[in-house]
Structure 1
Amino acid sequence: MQAGVAAVLAALALALHLVWVVPRTRRWRGGWVVLAQGLLAYSGVLAFGTSVGLLGVVAGSALLAGGAPIAMPVVVSAAAIEALRGGATADVTITCLLTGLVVYGLVRLADRVDDAAAARLPLTMAAAARERLRIAAELNRGLGDGLAVILRGGRRALRHPEEIGEVLDVARTSLNNARAAAVDLRSMSLAPEASAARALLDAAGVEVEVRTGHSEPLGPAGALLATVLREAVTDVVRVDSAKSCLIETSEDAGVVRLRVVNDGVRTAVQGEEGLARAAERVRQAGGTFTTGLGDDGRFLVEATADAGERAVGLPGQAAYRLSVTLLAAVLAGFSVKGLLLIPWGPLWPLALGGFVLASVLQLLWASKGWPKGWWLLLAVLSFAPVPLFGKAWLGLAGFLAGTLLVALPRRAAVPLVAATMAGVGAGAHLLGLGPAALVNYVISTLVTGLVVYGLVMLARLVRDLRAAGEELARAAAVQERLRAARDLHDLLGHSLAAILLKCELARRLAAVDAGRARAEIADVAAMAEQAAADLRAATGGEAELSLDGELRSAQSVLTAAGVDVETDARHTALDGPVSAVLSTVLREAVTNVLRHSAATRCVIVTEQDGDTVRLRVENDGRDPRAPRTAPGAGIGNLTTRLAALGGTLTASPSENHYRLEARIPR
């Protein structure tokens, strides 16, 4: 009867400990748990003869509730009770201390796991917000001030058209700054350049395959390899005989590798033309650059660059320190308990050296890791000295069990742990220990193994979660940079290019037709206000774009440039995101007509086919004899924007015409 009551009291005391373990019960944690556990544990120990080791759980709760000042009296009382019973006071004291520390450590590590998992989303959002604010401050200092000057100068030039030249200079500088800022923001990632390369090769009729084997963000390595990719793809298009091209990236041991393979080059010398500048930049940065024809006759461009400080610096070091400290305490306590069982004599120093060696091996493994298969050394160390030191050495096998659980796959670890427990049982039997002692040593082996496993794996989990959170935060910052770069290029770049065109036209008209010059300057003021809105969008605001408004703007800008424009709008009302993306496509198309062609006529058509809206922009300014230029960011940006809404983009050069077509579901 007494044994049954003692078991119930112990079970209830242990069950109350779930309040510290289960995350949903956090709000109930407090001193009452220690009081309740203490009442149950002391009742069992004093009234029914339960093992004094149960008080170690109460000491652990006391550490969680208030720290050492509350826990130490529990440990002292356990030693006093054991002394009254005539037992081994030192052994009980060590056991209670270790139990309390392990209970405390496992709960705290579990809490860190929950905290690290919960912090990932806020950390990511905060990183994106910080990057957005940083970009906004940087752009507003330069481009924002420039737009303010353009707006003030445009209003002043309405009264004095001849002063528009000052605005023209500021507009030119602002446009250059916007393009440079977009390039800088894009330079941390290789992905946009790969998208632009794919679009350019598709437009040239080259079958392209992209295999991505690196992880973003890259930083300086991304900018360096993006230059190589741009030059290599430009050469593929320039030669104009390739049927297929492979773009492949990989990463190994902190080195990022880019390979571009095409079948359009007949000699190595021909393929190397135009790549000298890229090769020099890569080699100056400490990377490698090779070219040549492979056995299959295809031309290869391969470049490598150091990824730099890509790792997050193992931000979970606090968890590791706690884990290793607790493991060191457990090892030290076990060693002391073992040494207490060995009489003073010639074997005692030898046992001390063996315990120290085993403890050092365990701590080195937990903190730094060991080569595969090293646990065999610990297995020998756990069992070979048993005939010499007897039962004092049997407990060391528990640390071997923990090592096996952590270091090996479960299918291999579980049988080996079972074999370790069986080995401990066999050793206890050979040493002549009774059934109770044999069962105690076997169970202690499993418990110690689980404690070691819990300490190490929880610490690793905290580290991995925090590292994942840091990587997510860095990726969010990079995505914010890429978004800002797209908006700078697609939105603000167009507005500033249109302002520049209008300013040049107004300057020419100022001396011959002041009325028309003022009309163009009024457009400059309106476009400057639109550019300010575009800048707000680039720094995190929402782009306020409508397709109907952009159609009117496109007609005005192209007409001012002397291009005959034909528009045919056959779309119905569009929702905000679809209208904004198609407006961006139209802006980029118009910018390309102004910058990259000698068009005299441009056709802009919008139409609907069921649930799909199509925008087509076609001009007659493409010169088939002109050399191909390097892929810009625009096509890649537009492809990304459309893909986000399930749309597609095609660029189709034919004879002296160029057609850009976007399709997007409503």
Structure 2
Amino acid sequence: MIVGVVLASFAAVYALAAPARTEGAARVAAATALVVVVVLAQFVQVVPRWRRRRGGWSLPAQAAAAYTGVIAFGTSAGILGFVVGSLLLAGAWPAAACVLASAALADALRGGASADVTITCLLTGLVVYGLARLADRADDVAAARLPLTVAAVERERLRIAAELDGGLGDGLRAISAGSRDALDRPERIADVLAVARESLNRARTAAAGLRSMSLAPEMAAARALLEAADVRAEVREGHREPLGPAGALLATVLREAVTDVVRAGAARTCLIATSERGGLVGLRVVNDGVRTAERGADGLDAAAGRVRAAGGTFSAGLDGDGRFAVEAAVAAGEPAVSLPDRAAYRLSLALLAAVLAGFSVKGLLLVPWGPLWPAAAAGLALISAVQLLWAGRGRPRWWPPILAVLAFAPLAVFGKAWLGVAGFLAGTFLVGLPAWAAVPLAAACMAATGAAARALGLGTAAVANYVISTLVTGLVVYGLVRLARLVRDLRAAGDELARAATVQERLRAARDLHDLLGHSLAAILLKCELARRLAEADPERSRAELAEVVAMAEQARGDLRTATGGDAELALDGEAASARSVLAAAGVEVETVLGHPVLDGPVSAVLGTVLREAVTNVLRHSAATRCTIATGRDGGAVWLVVENDGLDPAAPRTAPGAGIGNLTTRLASAGGTLSARADGKGSFRLEARVG
């Protein structure tokens, strides 16, 4: 659209000039038609959708129409600039130079100013080339966003797989082989137990590490913990994910600082803020519940030591308003996803500089050599510098007024040589202001230019030409800068999408390690312990338990593949059978009431995951003697309830762990809900609904 508007404005200049350059309605119509052909051929050259269908006719047709208009109908030789642009896009630089020379020759034979036409042709060609290349770059970047995201996720999966397979993969293989060996050699069960215990610790550590490498989830967890303790939390996120090791360090600081706030129990408000600048990621936690620096720093020594050992900075003390502040900063490290490059911006600014230089030279050609000429050159150079700084480094509010003064005040001195400058002011308005303000101001620039041209005694045709030229120049500036910013924004959006996908991949892997592999390893550990105790009293039962360990180890290897990017193969029925076996081995009486219908794969898998986590919590966090597992259908929804009697009613309330948060996320993605609550009498009930 941007390219089309700029090209249409160029066409309007030559079409409106046709009546002044030829005589007779038929000839004017023919000249105008040729201009339309030239511009339509240019559209085919620069618009990607049309370019693929153009064949080889567009450039010859454009050249024929342009030269016919110049030779037969008196069209300005400047229209050959479109041909120059097409040749530049085709890589035919020598041919483009020949067309420039022919334009100069044609204008010289008419007695015109060949230098002015040559500059016009060159500028038109460069603008066409630049706009087409920037439009191509925008299309390429837009098309590359999805592959960039997929590639980022695949890189993260490979990294996670390499990181986990060496430790957990080897451990699971050792458990499987050791369990087979222990079927006939019970004394080897202790070795399997040791490997299972180490593997479970590794899985939990890896899950925590993957989760903490992204600081944003830790900030969300900290907010939930604070609000659960009736502390008003304010979170300001100023960093970009994923962070990697820096996120893990700062997550440790955040966790310990917020834990201290909750433990003290005196804070009413707490601010958590992150920042990223100068290659450093910073974290600031401020609360109003600590009155002395010494008291506030208690318990933070370990976090401070880790941050300083990594080359970061750490401080804890009272700030100016009497609140206690914990601040830490560590090196951000290499970004996981490439940052936006500036190639498109450099091309845009280079072309804008060429346009500014060309228009300045055209203006100076109209200024007689003498005392005023150096002043005019200095003024045009100043305008060009301000315009480039404005386009490249920012948009201070005071620059447009400066450009407005520079655009119109010198008219009284330099006359029509300065009339073209207003176009840059129009471009400034179009780029830097919203449409509701930019369009009227650009129109005001055109009207002011027309009024100035009339005041200078120029004829109607010249006035119209300067008015339209103001619009064209403004649109050229707008097109070059706007397309460059579009490329930058698309690239930044693509990078942010890839970053977000990388973070989500880390969190998915952490959830799978916690929910799937953690459960499997906990069950393996329990079975191995049971087999060891039964080795002498009931060898056959011990062998049966070890055989289950072998099967569980194989299942755990599948869970590891899931955690590193494979597809989950869980099923609710299979998990219910496994839950009965594991809970019974732990001495928990199990009642199962399975009334669910045949479930599709995704629903069965997500409910199977919920059941795994619920059983893991029964084993790890309670002293349950009885557990009920029930499923059923309620209308269009399928539900799962896991209830146990192992909750201590007198135990202090704690914030929900990572497992409940993981399950809530999984169910939400499947259109389900999760509730987990105690009845106040020692029972804990977890209910999941999907559908």
Q: Which has the higher contact order (CA 8 A, sep 6+)?
A: 1
Following superposition, the deviation at residue 308 of structure 1 comes to 4.6
Q: CA deviation at 1:605?
A: 2.4
Shift of 1:46: 0.7
SS at match of 1:109: helix
- The one of 522, 547, 569 aligned to 1:522: 547
Partner of 2:241: 217
Task: Please state if 1:568 is matched with 2:593.
Answer: yes
Q: Could you say if the C-alpha distance between residues 521 and 18 of structure 1 is closer, same or farther in structure 2, counting changes exceeding 3 Å?
A: same
Mapped to 2, the partners of 1:148 and 1:282 lie a distance apart of 34
1:337 aligns with 2:335: no
2:136 is aligned with 1:111: yes
Q: Is the 8 A contact 1:315 1:466 kept in 2?
A: yes
Q: Distance in 2 between matches of 1:312 and 1:152?
A: 40
**Matching residue of 1:579:** 604
| Residues 673 and 690, structure 2, Cα contact 8 Å, conserved in 1 | no
Report the CA distance between 1:57 and its aligned residue: 0.8
- Distance across 2 between alignment mates of 1:366 and 1:201: 45
SS in 2 for 1:657: coil
Match of 2:49 among 10, 18, 24: 24
Residue identity matched to 1:618: E
Residue range with higher mean Cα deviation, 176-185 or 114-123: 114-123
The CA distance in 2 between the partners of 1:126 and 1:617, in whole Å, is: 40
SS at match of 1:372: coil
Indicate conservation of the 8 Å contact 2:138/2:483, yes or no: yes
Cα distance in 2, alignment partners of residues 615 and 326 from structure 1: 65
What's the counterpart of residue 611 of structure 1? Answer: 636
Q: What are the residue-to-residue correspondences of 1:188-587 with 2, within 5 Å? A: 188-193=213-218, 214=237, 217=241, 219=243, 222-223=247-248, 226-227=251-252, 230-231=255-256, 276=300, 280=304, 285-286=312-313, 308=332, 315-587=340-612
Deviation by residue 1:561-585 (Cα, 9 ceiling, x = unmatched): 2222222222222221221112111
Structure 1, 306-315 or 620-629: larger mean CA deviation: 306-315
Say whether residues 1:93 and 2:118 are aligned partners: yes
- Who is 2:14 aligned against? none
Question: In the superposition, relative to structure 1, how do residues 406 and 648 fare at CA in structure 2: closer, same or farther (>3 Å)?
Answer: same
Change (3 A) 1:4 1:266: closer
The answer to whether the Cα contact below 8 Å between 1:55 and 1:75 also exists between their aligned partners in 2 is yes
Give the superposition deviation at 1:508: 2.5
Instruction: Judge conservation of contact 1:150–1:171 (CA < 8 Å) in 2.
Output: yes
Partners of 1:199 and 1:452 in 2: how far apart?
49
Kindly indicate whether residue 64 of structure 2 is the aligned counterpart of residue 36 of structure 1.
no
Indicate if the aligned counterparts of 1:197 and 1:631 stay in contact, CA closer than 8 A: no
Q: Matches of 2:315 and 2:651 in 1, distance apart?
A: 32
- Structure 2 unaligned spans of 5+: 1-25
Q: Whole-Å Cα distance in 2 between the matches of residues 391 and 343 of structure 1?
A: 12
TM-score normalised to the size of structure 2? 0.86
Change (3 A) 1:519 1:241: farther
- 609-618 or 209-218: bigger deviation: 209-218
**Does 429-438 or 358-367 show the bigger shift?**
429-438
Structure 1's 526 and 114: CA in aligned 2 closer, same or farther, altered over 3 A? Answer: same
In 1, are the aligned partners of 2:395 and 2:432 still within 8 Å (CA)? no
The one-character-per-residue Cα deviations of 1:31-78 (angstroms, maximum 9, x if unpaired) are 431111011111111111111011111111111123312211111111
Name the CA distance, whole Å, in 2 between partners of 1:557 and 1:270.
Answer: 48
Q: How does 1:73-152 map to 2 (within 5 A)?
A: 73-152=98-177
Q: Quote the offset at 1:596 in angstroms.
A: 2.0
**Greater mean alpha carbon deviation, residues 123-132 or residues 537-546:** 123-132
Deviation of the 1:281 alpha carbon: 7.0
Contact 2:297 2:316 in 1 (8 A): no
Q: Tell me if structure 2 keeps the 8 A contact 1:186–1:481.
A: yes
Per-residue Cα deviation, 1:347-391 (whole angstroms, up to 9, x for no partner): 222222222221111111121124222111111111222222222
1:567 is paired with a residue of what secondary structure? strand
Moved more, 339-348 or 647-656: 647-656
Q: Which moved more, 1:436-445 or 1:562-571?
A: 562-571
Counterpart CA distance in 1 for 2:223 and 2:592 is: 30
Q: Give CA-to-partner distance per residue, 1:484-512, whole Å, 9 cap, x none.
A: 11000000011111111112222222233
Evaluate the alpha carbon distance shift between residue 188 and residue 105 of structure 1 in structure 2; reply closer, same or farther with a 3 A threshold. same
Deviation at 1:659, TM superposition (A): 1.6
- State the match for 2:646 in structure 1: 621
Indicate conservation of the 8 Å contact 2:171/2:195, yes or no.
Answer: yes
**Closer, same or farther in 2 for the Cα pair 1:211/1:636, shift >3 Å?**
farther
Question: Structure 1 residues 217, 232: closer, same or farther in 2, change over 3 A?
Answer: same
- Taking only the aligned residue pairs, the percentage that are identical comes to 64
Partner of 1:163: 188
- For 2:369 and 2:551, locate their aligned partners in 1 and report how far apart those are by CA, in whole Å: 95
| Residues 1:594 and 2:619 are matched in the alignment | yes
- Would the aligned equivalents of 1:143 and 1:177 in 2 still touch at CA under 8 Å? yes
Give 3-state SS (helix, strand or coil) of 1:663's partner.
strand
The DSSP-based 3-state class of the residue aligned with 2:183 is helix
Which range moves more in the overlay, 522-531 or 7-16? 7-16
Contact 1:192 1:636 in 2 (8 A): no
Whether the 8 Å CA contact 1:231–1:278 is kept in 2: the answer is no
Contact 1:402 1:451 in 2 (8 A): yes
Check the 8 A contact 1:164/1:507 in 2, yes or no. yes
| TM-score, reference length from structure 1 | 0.89
- Whichever residue aligns with residue 207 of structure 2, its letter is A
Alignment check: 8 A CA contact 1:314 1:467 kept: yes
Distance in 2 of aligned mates of 1:314 and 1:266 = 40
1:136 maps to amino acid:
A
Question: Structure 2: which amino acid aligns with 1:23?
Answer: P
| Whole-angstrom distance in 2 between the partners of 1:194 and 1:230 | 9
Classify 1:11/1:607 alpha carbon distance in 2 versus 1 (closer, same or farther; 3 Å).
closer
| Counterpart for residue 637 of structure 1 | 662
How far 1:186 sits from its partner (Å)?
Answer: 0.7
Q: Does residue 88 of structure 2 align to residue 66 of structure 1?
A: no
Quote the residue 2:5 is aligned against: none
**Secondary structure in structure 1 of the residue aligned to 2:367:** coil
Distance (whole Å) between structure 2 residues aligned to residue 311 and residue 496 of structure 1:
31
Residues in 2 aligned to 1:278 and 1:391: alpha-carbon distance in whole angstroms: 74
Q: Is 1:172 equivalent to 2:216 in the alignment? A: no
Instruction: Quote the Cα distance in structure 2 between the aligned partners of 1:332 and 1:387.
Output: 22
The Cα of 1:253 is off from its aligned counterpart by 7.3
Shift in Å, 1:313: 7.2
Matched residue, 1:665: 690
User: Which range moves more in the overlay, 533-542 or 382-391?
Assistant: 382-391
Paired with 1:366 and 1:613, the residues of 2 have a C-alpha distance of 58
Relative to structure 1, the CA distance from residue 568 to residue 240 in structure 2 (aligned partners, 3 Å threshold; closer, same or farther) is: farther
Alpha-carbon distance change, 589 to 580 in structure 1, aligned in 2, over 3 angstroms: same
Separation (CA, whole Å) in 2 of partners of 1:133 and 1:232: 33
1:57 to 82, 91, 109: 82
Q: Distance in 2 between matches of 1:267 and 1:252?
A: 26
1:238: Cα distance to partner? 6.5
Q: What secondary structure, in the 3-state scheme, does the structure 2 residue paired with 1:28 have?
A: coil
